Chains A and B, each alone.
Chain A
Amino acid sequence: MSERYDVAVVGAGVVGCAVAREFSRYRLRTILIEARSDLGDGASKGNSAILSTGSDTPFGTLENRLVTRGHQRYRAEAPAMGLPILSVGSLTVAWNEAQAASLAEMHRATVAAGYRSAELVDRDAIYRRVPSLAPGALAAMWEPEEAIVDPFSTPYAYALDAVTNGVEFRSSSAVSSALREEAGWTLSTATGAVACGLVVNCGGLWGDKVDALAGLADFAIRPRRGEFMVFDKSARPLLDVILKPVPSPTYRGVLMAPTAFGNVLLGPTAEDIDDPDDWRVTRDGLAKLDAAARAMMPALLDHDVTAIYCGVRPATERPEYRIAAHRDRRWITVGGIRSTGLSGALGIAEHVAALAFDGMLRAERKAELAPVRVPSLLEGGERPWRDAARVARDPAYGEMVCHCEGVSMGEIRDALASPLAPRTLKALKRRTRAMFGRCQGFFCGARVQAAFEHASRRAAE
C-alpha cells in the first residue's frame, strides 16, 4: 500500500512548483505529481518571460492582487535562488491619437491603482531610449519596474527548492482518477496510487480535466495559442526595454523584449484553439509576427531568427484566475492561470497555502530550510567557465560544447546529475541552454546528445 501524504499538488508547471515549494516550508508530507517526464513542460514552457508588476491585469481582481504580490516576492526571494532579474522597464507605445488618449487614461488608472512609478513620456524620450523604433510613435507609458526573468530556471528553482526541503516529486505520473475517501483522496497515477489529505489542482492547460476527476465543472479551459520568434543575439543592441502596444480589452498585443539569454523576443500572437495539445507554429502566426516587427522595428528583420515557438495559455471563459477552495471536498483548484502565471506564481502559492490552512490543514512552519541555488543562465552572467580557479579545479568547465550559448561539458554533467535530472533533450536544453542557440545543434547536437544518452543509460542501470 502506498504512503499517505498530507498534500498532493497535481501539475508541475510554474504554479504547481511554486505551490509545492510553499508547502515545503511546513511540517507536511507533500508530493508534486506531474504527468510529463519533466516539470515546466506545459503552458509554463512557452511564454514572454516578463515579470509583470501586475499593472497590466484588471484592477480589483484576484489576478491583479496575486500578480502584484508575486512580483514583490520574486524580487525578494528569487535572487537567493540564483534566478536573474533584468530590470529593464517597459514602454507601452501609442501609435495614433486614439491610442494616445487611451494611454493617458490607462496611465491615470495605473497610478491610481498604486503603481506610482508609471509615467507618461513624450516622443523624444521614447526615441532616445529606442532609437531604432519605427517612426510614428506619439507617446508612451514608462514602467521602470517591469522586468525580464528566466522562464525555464524559475519553475526548476521552485521545484528544486521544494524537493530539497522534503517534497517528493513524481514525474511521468498522469493522474487518471480520484477516489474520495473519508480523510481525503486516493489518486491513481501512471506510476501507482497516491493517498492524500488534500489535493491542489495545478493542472494548467488540463486543469478542467483534473477538476472533472473530482466531479467539479466550474470552468472550462479555452486554450489560447501564442507564437513567438526569438532573434539572434546580434539584434540585442537594438533593444534594452520591453516594448508593448496599447492593449485592447481582449488582447495585449505583440510585444518585443530582450531575453535573459541575450536575444530579442517578438510575440505573442493570440489564437483560440480547441486542442490544448496543438503546439504548432503556424505560417499565419509567423506572418503576423513579421508584420508586427515591420510596424514596430523594421531593423529587427535584418537579423536572423534563432528560434520559433509557441505557448498555449490556460485561459477560461472569464478573464480572471479560477482559484477555489472546495473545503468539504478537501480540494483546491488553481485554474485559469492564463497569461501572468510566471509573475504571479509566488503570490498564488501564498494564497493557496492560506486557503489550505484555513480549515483544511494544520501544520507548523519549519524553523530551518535548506537553501538552493540554480546555475545562472543569464547572458554575460556568472558561469563556471568564466572562473579560472573553478576551471583549474574542475577541467570539465573548460570543455565548451555548445558554442552559441557558451555551455561547458561540466555544466551539462551537473544538470544531468541534478535530483531533478532532465529526462528529455528539451529538458536538458531548458536547464543548460545547450542547443538552444543560433545553430540549433549544428555544432553541438551530436556531442550533447551523446552525453545525454550516456547519462540516461547510466541512470537506467
Chain B
Amino acid sequence: MSAIETDCAIVGAGPAGLAAARAAIDGGVRSVLVIDRDDAPGGLPRFCRHPGFGWEYTRRLETGPGLVRRLIGALDPARVQIRTGTTVQALHAGPRLEILSSGAGAATVHAKAVILATGIRERPRTARLVPGRRPERGILTTGQLQQMIARGVPLHGKRLVVVGTEHVAFSVLLTARHAGLSVVAMVEAEDRPMSYAPVATLVRCIAGVPIHATTRISDIHGETCVSGVEIESPEGRRVIPCDAVVFSGDFVPDSPLARSAGLTLDPATGGPQVDQIGRTSAPCVFAAGNLLRAVESSGFAAIEGARVGAATAAFLGGRIGWRGQVSTIAIAPQFRYVVPQCWSFEVPGLATLPTSLRVGADLDSARVGLRHDQALLWRGPVRRLLRHRRIRVPLSSLSTRLPGSISLVATPRDHP
C-alpha cells in the first residue's frame, strides 16, 4: 500500500474545505491535500444551479457551481492538490488517514494536521418516521433530487410535494422550475414557514405554491412510484396526487468519520466538539463547516473553513500549540446548541469561528447575555429569537480575558 505525505490533509472539498485550503496556504503551509469522495470537488453547492451561494465569504451572489469555481480558482495548484473520487475510510492518531480510490487503490496519508470538513446531509423520510408505503421511486431528499437533476437522471413524473419550509425547501422551487418540474404543495409541521417571511410570501404569491402549515404527511401512496400523499391537518385529511415527495431540510452533520475516529461529539449538534479555532478533542485534528452543526449557509461554512485553515497554519508554523485546558461554554436551557462548544484562553489574536447559537423553541422577546465568571461581558438587544435564525454573540470578547467559566444566558425582556 502506498504512503502519501502532506503537511495538511483536508477531508471534504465543499466550501469549508476549499476555503480552508486557501487560508492554510496563505498562512504559510507548504503542501495541502484536499480529499473528496465525490467525483468532482465542490460539496453540496455544485448541484445547486441557482444563485444564493457564498455571500458572506465572497460578497457576491453566485450560483452553487459559480462559488465552487471561484473557490477552486483561488487555489495554487502547485501547493494544493485535490483528489476526488477518493474516500477517507478511517482516521487514526498520527494523524494518519486510510484512503481508497479507483485510480490509486488503497493508500495511507500521513499528515501533520487534518481538517475535517465532511459537511451535512438531510434526514430522510425514514428517520422522520413518516408512515405509509415505501415505493422505490419518488421518495427523495432535496440533495438527491438536485443531484439527479444535475446528473441527468430522469424522474418518472413532474409533480413534487415538498416537506419542510427551511430555506433549502425554496431551493427546490428554483431547481424544479429550472428542470421543468412543478411543486404542487409545501407541507410544514410547524404553524408557519421556517424560512424568512418574505421568501414564503414570494412563494405563495409568485410561484402560486400552497404552503400547508400545521400539517404532516399521514400516508404515502404508490406501489413502485409515488402516486400521492395524504396530508393531515387540524382541518382533516386529504390526498394530494403527486409523483415525488421531497423531504427537505432537517440537516444533520455527516460525522461517521469523526465518530469512528473517536472524536468527542456534541450530542446537541451531532458534530465534533471544537474550541474557537476549530481544534477537536483529537490532537492535530481540526473541523470546520457544516460538519460542526446543521445548518448554516455555504458562505458561512466557507468563513469557518478560512478561519480554521488560518489556525491550522498557525499551528503548523509553531505559532500556537495544541489545545490544552478548555472552558466549556455553558448554555441556558433555552438554547439548543452553541458552536464553538469550548474556549481556549491561551490562544492569542487569532480570528475565531463566528458563533452559531440557536434557541430550541421560539422566544417572543428575550435578550442574550455572555458571562465570564461573575461578570456580564456582553448583553444583546431585546428581540425575538427564532429557531431557524442564528444568534450572533461576540464570543471574541473573551480573547482578552483570563481563564474562567463561560456561560450564555437568555433573560426575558423585563429581567434586569
Contacts and interface: CB of A to CB of B under 8 A. Distances in A.
B59 interface: no
A425 interface: yes
B133 A280 contact: yes
Interface stretch (B96-104, B200-208, B335-343): B96-104
Contacts of B141: 439-442
B140 interface: yes
Contacts of A309: 134
Interface string A287-313: 000000000000000101111110000
B224 to A, nearest CB: 7
Contacts of A279: 133-134
A305 B127 contact: yes
Contacts of A286: 129, 131
B143 interface: yes
A65 interface: no
B100 A400 contact: yes
Given A279-B133, A443-B121, A305 B126 contact: yes
A403 B133 CA distance: 25
A440 B102 contact: no
A458 interface: no
B143 A400 contact: no
A449 B153 contact: yes
A188 to B, nearest CB: 23
A209 interface: no
Contact of A440 (B100, B124, B131): B124
Interface string A222-241: 00000001000110000000
B148 to A, nearest CB: 4
B37 A446 contact: no
Contacts of B147: 445-447
B190 interface: no
Interface string A360-404: 000000000000000000000000010010011001111110011
A102 interface: no
Contact of A395 (B87, B102, B132, B148): B102
B134 A441 contact: no
A73 interface: no
Contacts of B102: 391, 395-399, 409
A398 B131 contact: no
B332 to A, nearest CB: 22
Interface in B144-172: 144, 147-148, 150-154
Interface residues of B, number: 46
Interface in A261-295: 279-283, 285-286
Contacts of A425: 136-137
B87 to A, nearest CB: 4
Nearest to A452: B153
B232 to A, nearest CB: 9
Interface in A301-346: 302, 304-309
B134 A305 contact: no
A399 B85 contact: yes
Given A398-B103, A441-B141, 13 more contacts: A281-B133, A385-B106, A392-B105, A403-B87, A426-B136, A439-B121, A439-B124, A440-B124, A440-B125, A445-B140, A445-B147, A446-B148, A453-B154
Nearest to B142: A442
A96 to B, nearest CB: 29
A443 B143 contact: yes
A61 interface: no
A253 to B, nearest CB: 21
B126 A398 contact: no
B243 interface: no
B287 interface: no
14 contacts: A285-B131, A286-B131, A307-B126, A308-B129, A308-B134, A309-B134, A385-B106, A399-B85, A404-B256, A424-B224, A425-B136, A439-B254, A441-B141, A442-B124
A108 interface: no
B413 interface: no
B131 A450 contact: no
Interface of B: 1, 37, 39, 85, 87, 100-106, 121-127, 129, 131-134, 136-137, 139-141, 143-144, 147-148, 150-154, 218-219, 224, 252, 254, 256, 259, 267
B131 A283 contact: yes
Nearest to A451: B153
B134 A388 contact: no
Among B1, B85, B129, max chain A CB count under 10 A is at B129
A351 interface: no
Interface residues of A, number: 46
B133 A305 contact: no
Contacts of B101: 398-399
A441 B87 CA distance: 17
Nearest to A404: B256
Contact of B148 (A305, A391, A439, A449): A449
A280 B222 CA distance: 10
A446 B124 contact: no
A281 B124 contact: no
B259 to A, nearest CB: 7
Interface string A86-128: 0000000000000000000000000000000000000000000
Nearest to B270: A304
Contact of B131 (A282, A426, A442, A449): A282
A234 B252 CA distance: 14
A180 interface: no
A7 B140 CA distance: 43
Contacts of B132: 280-281
B123 to A, nearest CB: 7
Nearest to A397: B102
Contacts of A308: 126, 129, 131, 134
A305 B141 CA distance: 16
Nearest to A234: B259
Contacts of A442: 121-122, 124, 141, 143-144
The 10 closest A-B pairs by CB, nearest first: A440-B124, A446-B147, A399-B102, A395-B102, A398-B102, A445-B144, A391-B105, A446-B148, A400-B87, A425-B136
Contact of B100 (A281, A385, A429): A385
Among B1, B105, B137, B148, max chain A CB count under 10 A is at B105
B151 A280 contact: no
Given A398-B100, A403-B37, A424-B136, A441 B129 contact: no
A396 B134 CA distance: 30
A285 B219 CA distance: 13
Contacts of B125: 440
A4 interface: no
Contacts of B218: 283
A443 B14 CA distance: 14
Contact of A304 (B37, B127, B140): B127
Contact of B124 (A302, A391, A441): A441
A165 B268 CA distance: 55
A403 B150 CA distance: 20
Contacts of A409: 102
B153 A446 contact: yes
A438 interface: yes
Interface in A128-146: none
A440 B129 CA distance: 13
Contacts of A403: 37, 87
A262 B196 CA distance: 40
Contacts of A283: 131, 218
Nearest to B155: A449
Nearest to A310: B134
